[in-house]
Structure 1
Amino acid sequence: MRFMATYDLMETMRNTNQWLGASAQAFASYPAFAMVPNPGLQWMAAWGEVTERSFKRMVVKPDWGLNAVPCNDGRDHVVSVEKVIERPFGDLIHFNVQGREEKLRKILLVAPMSGHYATLLRSTVQSLLPDAEVYITDWHNARDIPVSKGKFDIEDYTLYCVDFMKHLGPDINVIAVCQPAPLVLAATAYLAEVDPDAQPRTLTLIGGPIDPDATPTEVTDFGNRVTMGHLEETAIQQVGFKYAGVGRRVYPGLLQLTSFIAMNLDTHAQAFSDQIMRTAQGEASDNDRHNHFYDEYLATMDMTAEFYLSTVERVFKDLEIAKNEFVVDGRKVDIGKITRVAVKVVEGENDDISAPGQCLAALDLLTGLPDAKKASHLEPGAGHYGIFAGKSWRNNIRPLVLDFIDANSGASKAQLKVAT
């Protein structure tokens, strides 16, 4: 599985299915066929449209597509995406609400590198923009990064987070969503030792595997069961000749997508079957609920092999974060050194990826932090996606997180009210 031929074979299959879908749609939509209406041709055109769109989206990075933000002056202000720091494996970007005075609340969203682009947090960003200056880590697709740029593992990821936090300064409030939670916790502890004045004001950890063994799930069971040799042999491939990262060892996005879909195959199969019927009946639209979800869900990115393998080995198998034994750039990180950063943990009751208890374990590791600076919230009925982007986030979790930030900010309530 480690050869370019395998990577190129997957891309060939994807490309072929995209072509078949486009061809079927074009053939069944031939104007002459309209003289004799045929339900079979309508279904064929619908199948082609859905198939072509689905396979095309797998290799396209979604656009942020953010709506304008209403402000106190009664006008909607356009949002522009601006790069603050550019790095080979990821950028720090700022969502600039043009023409608006700078908000006192400053939030850094650390996006997961777990198969999808940072745009997975689009709705999270949109919900925070009216109340804060929002920054996010925009990780790059490993297939597009030349081998000459070097490696990128979980230590490099942690150091990227350290640099981003140092650049934004001590007034920043960090929110880590899912996969980065343990590494951002380690990055904060790293700063507590090497540059205490650069620590963020608050840290919110949402549904992350701080201690994967605290509450086992299918994900943690897989991590414990598989051997590293087997994982490397079956999951790692080399980028093919089509992309700038040719030769780089990666965990391919297309392979990840296969695993994602296999976990809920019946649900996805039914969703696509229903969409084909809606398209055939003229009930589908370009940005309907199905397309809105799957345009993002199908857009997967390659992870560097060293990042994926070191995550499984060091976070899930060896539990280096959970045991407070994580090492970054030769320095052992002590989470107990965090003494003044307020930390809040958010979990979802029905989260089947990072089950309740896995993220909460962070508070036990914060031995140097006063209880008054620790907080937690378990959202009833919420799954993994809902705790950062769904109704639970919008209606319940987001207000709690903003209140937590305000309670631990240096600004007075009067200042925050005026700024909002």
Structure 2
Amino acid sequence: MRYMMTYDLMETIRITNQWAGATAQAMASYPIWGTVPHPSFRMMAAWGEVTERTFSRMIVKPDWGIDAVVGSDGRDHIVSVETEIARPFGDLIRFRVQGRPEKPRRIMLVAPMSGHYATLLRSTVQSLLPDAEVWITDWHNARDIPVSEGKFDIEDYTLYLADFMEHLGPDLNVIAVCQPAPLALAATAYLGAEKPKAQPRTLTLIGGPIDPDAAPTDVTDFGRRVTMGQLEQFILQRVGFKYAGVGRKVYPGMQQLASFMSMNAETHTTAFVEQIIRVAKNQAGDHDKHNRFYDEYLAVMDMTAEFYLSTVERVFKNREIARNDFTVAGKKVDIAAITDVAVKIVEGERDDISAPGQCLAALDLLTGLPKSKKAAHLEPGAGHYGIFAGKSWRNNIRPLVLNFIDDNAPKAAPAKDRKSA
């Protein structure tokens, strides 16, 4: 019960701050204060507006906001978001572009389950839609999943990915971003042993911790310093009475957010102070750069306790995938079972979350894959976010990934061969 009380206390603090911001904005916005020539009321209203928006965003799942893409015919084509496979802990959704012929490139993006919603990859989806059919894994907030649905750990996650890959077929190209990279590799290897014909055609791993010890970061240092008992005692909580997942043990999203922001506290503080000043000067907009970033960054989701703990213990501490000693449903997953899937590694030179070398370690594990089907790219000057959603992705990495997909697609037969056939 004490964990539920802590969870509800955090929610109470969030609501109180949201209320305080809304109250300050309302009180300082009365017309009468226009007769007082002092900027304090304008600053108070601005502080209230920014504070209310900040704390209200923490429990809102962002919209995809992808309404249309421009087709090769120069027309805007409406995009609909459709659930193709619905599961208790995550769905496979498709971005269907209306009114255009289906693209030969078929891509499944594997979104992280690391505190943020899949919408964190919104710009990645937008950049791929003009040239491909796109699906993405849409993980659910653990606080909204009833305890009766059971557990969800990294083995369950891996089986979800394997099922999604099998559903979409062997002409699929998988792109895994950050945290799911080792599990996407494991899911492909699992299919290699169990259902070889269901493996995807290509697998692109972007900035993921295949071998966390290959290059130390603050994330890997934390995983080594903290014991599993400490994590379970001080980080995990039970969902409070407000949500459908009441009683489920989770790593709360708001607690994760506090950790994220503490790593760059000065940067975030400066950003919010500058935003308050812009609002006071009527220079801010509802969808300005600050709000676009923080509306997404502040929207956090709870992870199931078993997924968080198994990730720390099995991926980071025991390095089961790095040592090729990972098991799923009692079956050993041998990375060498991947013999016909082209694999590309993408890393950022300045990635401080999954440092260069951590993801590259996957190529050494692929002992059954010929060199011709292995590729790697290190993006100069790019940080973690930039390699999948920033300028580096748009200008350099995206074209490389699409070329990699095309290079490993079946070659069209010459015209006379098709005719004689």
Q: TM-score band (shorter)?
A: over 0.9
- Per-residue deviation at 1:277? 0.3
How far apart are the structure 2 equivalents of 1:200 and 1:381? 31
Distance 1:330 1:20, change over 3 A: same
Letter in 2 for 1:335: I
Letter in 2 for 1:350: R
**Structure-1 residue corresponding to 2:358:** 358
The answer (yes or no) to whether the contact 1:336–1:367 under 8 Å persists in 2 is yes
Runs of 4+ in 1 over 6 A off after TM superposition: none
Distance 1:414 1:239, change over 3 A: farther
User: Given the two structures, how large is their TM-score scaled by the length of structure 1?
Assistant: 0.97
The answer (yes or no) to whether the contact 1:250–1:303 under 8 Å persists in 2 is yes
**Structure-2 residue corresponding to 1:337:** 337
**Structure-2 residue corresponding to 1:253:** 253
**Structure-2 residue corresponding to 1:34:** 34
Deviation per CA, 1:18-42, whole angstroms, max 9, x where unpaired? 0000000000001222233430000
How far apart are the structure 1 equivalents of 2:215 and 2:209? 10
How far apart are the structure 2 equivalents of 1:414 and 1:189? 34
- Per-residue deviation at 1:73? 2.2
Letter in 1 for 2:408: N
Structure 2: gaps of 5 or more residues: 416-421
- Per-residue deviation at 1:67? 4.1
Pairs aligned (count)? 415
How far apart are the structure 2 equivalents of 1:112 and 1:327? 20
Deviation per CA, 1:114-149, whole angstroms, max 9, x where unpaired? 000000000000000000000000000000000000
Q: How does 1:292-303 map to 2 (within 5 A)?
A: 292-303=292-303
How far apart are the structure 1 equivalents of 2:55 and 2:107? 35
Letter in 2 for 1:16: T
- Say whether residues 1:400 and 2:362 are aligned partners: no
Distance 1:414 1:160, change over 3 A: farther
- Per-residue deviation at 1:305? 0.1
**Structure-1 residue corresponding to 2:419:** none
SS of the residue corresponding to residue 389 of structure 1 reads: coil
Deviation per CA, 1:293-337, whole angstroms, max 9, x where unpaired? 000000000000000000000000000000000000000000011
Cα RMSD between the aligned structures?
A: 1.2
- Per-residue deviation at 1:413? 10
How far apart are the structure 2 equivalents of 1:74 and 1:342? 33
How far apart are the structure 2 equivalents of 1:75 and 1:393? 25
**Structure-1 residue corresponding to 2:153:** 153
- Per-residue deviation at 1:412? 3.6
**Structure-2 residue corresponding to 1:99:** 99
Deviation per CA, 1:330-387, whole angstroms, max 9, x where unpaired? 0000001100000000000000000000000000000000000000000000000000
How far apart are the structure 2 equivalents of 1:38 and 1:98? 54
- Per-residue deviation at 1:17? 0.2
Identity %: 76
How far apart are the structure 2 equivalents of 1:315 and 1:67? 37
- Per-residue deviation at 1:3? 1.3
The answer (yes or no) to whether the contact 1:2–1:236 under 8 Å persists in 2 is no
- Per-residue deviation at 1:256? 0.2
- Say whether residues 1:7 and 2:7 are aligned partners: yes
- Per-residue deviation at 1:252? 0.1
- Per-residue deviation at 1:72? 2.1
How far apart are the structure 2 equivalents of 1:204 and 1:254? 31
Letter in 2 for 1:161: L
Distance 1:75 1:321, change over 3 A: same
**Structure-1 residue corresponding to 2:200:** 200
How far apart are the structure 1 equivalents of 2:162 and 2:82? 20
**Structure-2 residue corresponding to 1:348:** 348
Q: How does 1:17-416 map to 2 (within 5 A)?
A: 17-412=17-412
The answer (yes or no) to whether the contact 1:212–1:220 under 8 Å persists in 2 is yes
Structure 1: gaps of 5 or more residues: 416-420
The answer (yes or no) to whether the contact 2:67–2:80 under 8 Å persists in 1 is no
SS of the residue corresponding to residue 58 of structure 1 reads: helix
- Per-residue deviation at 1:411? 4.7
Deviation per CA, 1:140-199, whole angstroms, max 9, x where unpaired? 000000000000000000000000000000011000000000000000000001000000
Letter in 1 for 2:296: E
How far apart are the structure 2 equivalents of 1:37 and 1:158? 62
How far apart are the structure 1 equivalents of 2:209 and 2:202? 19
How far apart are the structure 2 equivalents of 1:224 and 1:399? 37
SS of the residue corresponding to residue 332 of structure 1 reads: strand
Distance 1:72 1:401, change over 3 A: same
SS of the residue corresponding to residue 192 of structure 1 reads: helix
How far apart are the structure 2 equivalents of 1:237 and 1:36? 48
